[in-house]
Chain A
Amino acid sequence: MELWLENYLSLFFNFKLFGNLNWLAIPLLIYFLVTIKKRKRWEIAIAFVFIFSCLFLSSKKGQSNPRYLLTLYPFVLSTIFLLGWEYIQKRSHRFHLGIFIICTIAILFNFYHFRETYKFYLRYKVIAVDDYFPHDLLKFINNIGDLNSDSTFLVCSQRSLFHYYTNKKGIDYRDPRMRIFKRQKNKEATLDVLKNELEIDYIYLHWEYKPNSILLDIISNDCDLVYQDIKNGFYLYRIREKEPDKKELERLFVNDSLLKNGSFEEWSHGALKKPDFFEGGDNISEGMIIREEKEVKVGRYSAKITGDNFNFTQDLSNFEDYKGKSLTCFVWVKTDIPDKYRIQIYDGFDSSFSKRHPGEGDWKLLQVNCTINPLAKFVIIRVIQAEKTEKVNDVVYVDGALAVEGDWNTFYSYALHTINEKNK
């Protein structure tokens, strides 16, 4: 029954897409067939075309593509009203009025019942208050300058935004040239094909596209996230030419940060006390923060914090220079506790938070962007903030707290820019 109503007869019973009067086509078609002897030839001809059109669309699985069914919708509805009128025409005025009222209620109910869908589209397309378009990402792609004439993007998205809006070359994931890529059995060979045969430098990915395990492995381990548009689900990755110069990246964390001792190398009060320049709130007591020498991301040491419901912070010393400006803070965080830890920038007026660490037990670079209020009297960077979970033995490692001026989309876009500027 459900299969018939929602699939084969969905043109008549999919009330959300085709209204709730379309089902009347079925009894009215029976009425038409019963009165066929009285019908004119042109009416029978149109009924003939209509019935065979329905059969054709069904044979093309029109029910799974409602856009195909839409083809018949205005015609079906018009016919319902014309035949329906013919049927009720000789009845009393009151009968007409009753039918009109019932139909109006049915139509209004449909608008009301699916009001959220209508509201969404009105906000999105008519009043245009919600913007679901990756303007900045497409602008970013158009401005990428480090490509030679053969450099290509692997385009993993069904929508042709890339080709319509950018001036770059792309290979679609359905492109026949991708067969050679799909034939590879291991990551190394696949990466080699991507880089050297297909000359792909960037991977443009929409969340709807599900990469296979090899491509996922390449994205995770051999690419840098260059740009992300979380709202619209677009991600841009750059395939690494070579492993990034770790020392060069480390230097960014040590030298470029607006935070003092961002890489947690200085512990002048001892390994079991707080690192220099960082503070904890009331909930951080003696011994909760210790120097860590094994789990390290940047430099020689990191900070290991055990506890619950705390902030580990540093006041930005020259915060006045950044009033009205944007700041971005990146912090390497490692923990196996999901959704407990994040970072925050707070200026007394506004707070910005990073996403929470997913707790998969590996180092993740958390990021927060914030525009400092021009009236701010201080700026606090909470390089780790632990939510209250009543579990006092939870452990988190923090390293490489890098706060920089500017509204950077990803660490890589900042690093690429800064290293290129320094090399000039």
Chain B
Amino acid sequence: MILFSLQFILTNIIFSVIICTVFIRFNKERIHSNLELLLYSLGLGPVFTSLLLYYLLLFSPHHSNLFYILGVFVIYLILFFMGRKYFPVLLADGNKKIKKIKNIFNNLSPSHQTKSIIITSFLILFLVSFSFLYTTNTLQTPLDGTDSLRYGTLGKIFFVEKSLEYRWIRIYPKTGFLQRINHAPSFSLLLTWEKIMDSFFNANKDLYYKSLSTYYGLLILIVMFFWLSKKNKYLALLGVFALLSGFYFFETLITQHLDSYRIFFLIISWIFLGYAIEKKDFLSFLLLGIFSGFAAFTHTIGAVLVILNCLALFIFVKGNLKYKLKKTTFVTISIITFGWFHYILDIFWGYGWIIFTREITWWG
């Protein structure tokens, strides 16, 4: 459990905050709320780590675990230096928010204060109970979902081979595992990442990998709450319960699957599509590219739907043709860099993705 906590805090929190500070660097004019950026960035630590591993294993395979962990850390160190001045800004924003909440609370009448305390206590109790049951029970149940087992087996193969070769070779000769997965291997690589970290502690677990579905499911809930609470707090609460009353979403919180992981990036990419068209600032275009790229990097559906993002940007962003082309090209390049690159490889040198069906060429 200690190792899991370490992996979770490092990958999901620390790495995400580092990425967020880099975004804040580009948000000097405060077009976006820094705390909103932090909320979206909380999903970026795992997927960006997975992307770094992807490129490392693709271009520099068959090295030791130390090589890959150092490779990832070096990139985060560079990002840390890029954003180091903005940690205090983020902290100050957090403090401001807390003070604002305190002020609102102090200005409430005593009866409203009691009501708020009761509601908050109830929510905290619910969250603590869920977290306790989740970590002691749910997380301890074995990995058993059809897809998560398939992606997990592939992640284990990447770990053993230290190469993405078997992403493009259908049968793994050592065990006979058969796969033909159209998606980029981002979810699998998170198990590879966990195994790489485990190797330094002589452990062999999959707790971190199993926790991803819940983590991203909760992030989706929080994003929904955040947007609805801009209108009304009760509307936001109602929205959260409505989302949970759909069994398929509820399931993502307690089983292991990549659904919440892939949906999160797609939703955020749509938010930044709106921002990019409305605000037309550099950060919005960049984040549209990054989140769209990651939506593609997590699943084939995302890879197709982000093409629509580019199309919508080109059609609806205000400006002359040159401006539209320039912005759309920038977003397209970002999308390719942050995930679509895999499908280009697959189309031209791999199985052909969903466009062609061919047996493997040069990988085998």
The answer to whether B167 has its CB under 8 Å from any CB of chain A is no
CB contact between B274 and one of A46, A117, A174 (< 8 Å): that residue: A46
Chain B's closest residue to A161 (CB) is B149
| Shortest CB distance B9–A (Å) | 23
CA of A74 to CA of B262, assembled, Å:
12
Stretch of B15-23, B193-201, B247-255 on the interface side: B247-255
Contact size class for B? 35 or more
Pick the contact of A164: B153, B220, B267 (CB < 8 A).
B153
Q: A175–B239 contact, CB under 8 A?
A: no
Q: Is the beta-carbon distance between A107 and B245 smaller than 8 angstroms?
A: yes
Question: What is the CA–CA distance of A128 and B312 in the complex, to the nearest angstrom?
Answer: 46
A169 vs B171: C-alpha distance in the bound complex, in angstroms?
A: 11
Q: Which of A118-140 contact B (CB under 8 A)?
A: 118, 121-122, 124-128, 131-133, 135
* A100 in complex: contacting residue of B231, B238, B267, CB < 8 Å: B238
Instruction: Contact check, A163 vs B175: say whether CB atoms are below 8 A apart.
Output: yes
* Chain B CB within 10 A, most for which of A22, A57, A73, A164: A164
**Chain B residues whose C-beta falls within 8 Å of the C-beta of A175 in the assembled complex:** 171, 176, 178
Q: A19-B243, A77-B243, A163-B177 are in contact. Are A125 and B138 (CB under 8 A)?
A: yes
Asked whether, in the complex, the Cβ of A68 is within 8 Å of the Cβ of B301, the reply is yes
Give B180's nearest chain A residue, CB to CB.
Answer: A174
Q: Mark A132-171, 1 if CB is under 8 A from B, else 0.
A: 1101000000000000000010010011110111001111
Q: Are the CB atoms of B156 and A82 closer together than 8 Å?
A: no
Which residues of chain A have C-beta atoms less than 8 A from B250's C-beta? 118, 121
Q: A400 to nearest B CB, angstroms?
A: 38
From known contacts A53-B308, A74-B263, A128-B140, infer whether A160 and B242 are also in contact, taking CB-CB under 8 Å. Answer: no
Taking a contact as CB atoms under 8 Å apart, the answer to whether A45 and B316 are in contact is yes
Residues 119 to 164 of chain B near chain A (Cβ within 8 Å): 130, 133-134, 137-138, 140-144, 146, 149-150, 152-153, 156
Contact partner, B143, options A70, A122, A164, A172, Cβ 8 Å: A164
Compute how far the CA of A40 lies from the CA of B273 in the bound complex, rounded to whole angstroms: 13
Expressed in whole angstroms, the Cα–Cα distance for A74 and B178 within the complex equals 33
Please give the distance in Å from B205's CB to the nearest CB on chain A: 13
Residues of B within 8 A of A165 (CB): 142
A73 to B267, CA, bound (A): 10
The answer to whether B228 has its CB under 8 Å from any CB of chain A is: yes
Residues in chain B near residue A164, CB distance under 8 A:
143, 149, 152-153, 156
Closest residue on chain B to residue A174 by CB atoms: B178
Given A68-B301, A100-B238, A45–B312 Cβ distance below 8 Å? yes
On whether the beta carbons of B133 and A127 are closer than 8 Å, the reply is yes
Are A70 and B263 interface neighbours, CB within 8 A? Answer: yes
Closest CB-CB distance, A105 to chain B, in whole Å? 11
Segment 288-341 of A: residues with Cβ below 8 Å from B: none
Most buried by A among B133, B228, B245, B275: B245
Selected contact of A19 from candidates B246, B255, B267, CB within 8 Å: B246
List CB contacts (< 8 Å) of B264-319 with chain A: 266-267, 270, 273-275, 277-278, 301, 304-305, 308-309, 312-313, 315-318
- Which A residues are CB-close (under 8 A) to B252? 70
Contacts of B143 in A (CB 8 A): 164
Q: Are B246 and A104 in contact (CB under 8 A)?
A: no
**B interface majority secondary structure:** helix
Compute how far the CA of A296 lies from the CA of B315 in the bound complex, rounded to whole angstroms.
83
Inter-chain contacts of A127 with B (CB < 8 A) = 133, 137
Per the CB 8 Å criterion, the residue count for chain A at the interface is 73
Shortest Cβ distance from residue B61 to the other chain A in the assembled complex, whole angstroms: 22
Q: Which A residues touch B309, using CB under 8 A?
A: 49
A48 and B316 in contact, given A74-B243, A85-B232, A111-B245 (Cβ under 8 angstroms): yes
Contact partners of A131 in chain B: CB under 8 A:
141
What are the residues of chain A within 8 A of B137 when measuring CB–CB? Answer: 125-128
Q: Which of B137, B231, B246, B301 has the most CB of A within 10 A?
A: B246
Among A41-80, those with CB < 8 Å from B are 41-46, 48-50, 52-53, 56-57, 60, 66-68, 70-71, 73-75, 77-78
Most buried by B among A74, A110, A155: A74
B178 with A172: CB separation less than 8 A: yes
Docked complex Cα distance between A360 and B259 (Å): 46
A277 within 8 A of B: no
Distance A51 CA – B286 CA, assembled complex (angstroms): 24
Q: Is A114 an interface residue (CB 8 A)?
A: yes
A16 on interface, CB distance cutoff 8 Å: yes
Is B241 among interface residues, defined by CB-CB distance under 8 A? yes
Instruction: Give the distance in Å from the alpha carbon of A155 to the alpha carbon of B177 in the complex.
Output: 10
Which of B246, B254, B257, B273 contacts A22 (CB under 8 A)? B246
Q: Which residues of A contact B176 (CB under 8 A)?
A: 152, 155, 163, 169-172, 175
Interfacial residues of chain A within 169-220, with CB under 8 A of chain B in the complex: 169-172, 174-177
- Asked if A118 contacts B138 (CB within 8 A), the reply is no
Q: How far apart are the CA atoms of A165 and B177 in the complex, in Å?
A: 12
Check if A31 is an interface residue, CB within 8 A of chain B.
Answer: no
Inter-chain contact A126/B251, CB cutoff 8 Å? no
Q: Chain B: which residue is nearest A113 at the CB level?
A: B245
A95 at the interface (CB under 8 A from B): no
Partner of B144 from the list A73, A128, A155, A159 (CB cut-off 8 Å) is A159
Bound-complex Cα distance A128 to B139 (A):
10
Chain B residues near A20 (CB-CB < 8 A)? 245
Within 8 A of A (CB), among B318-342: 318
- Top 10 nearest A-B pairs by Cβ distance? A19-B246, A128-B137, A45-B316, A160-B149, A42-B274, A172-B178, A42-B277, A125-B254, A110-B245, A18-B246
20 A–B pairs (Cβ distance < 8 Å), ordered by A: A41-B317, A42-B275, A45-B274, A45-B315, A45-B316, A48-B316, A49-B308, A56-B304, A73-B263, A74-B267, A75-B266, A85-B232, A100-B238, A103-B238, A125-B138, A125-B254, A126-B138, A133-B142, A163-B153, A175-B171
Additional A-B contacts beyond A16-B247, A125-B137 (6; CB < 8 A): A41-B278, A45-B312, A49-B312, A121-B255, A131-B141, A163-B176
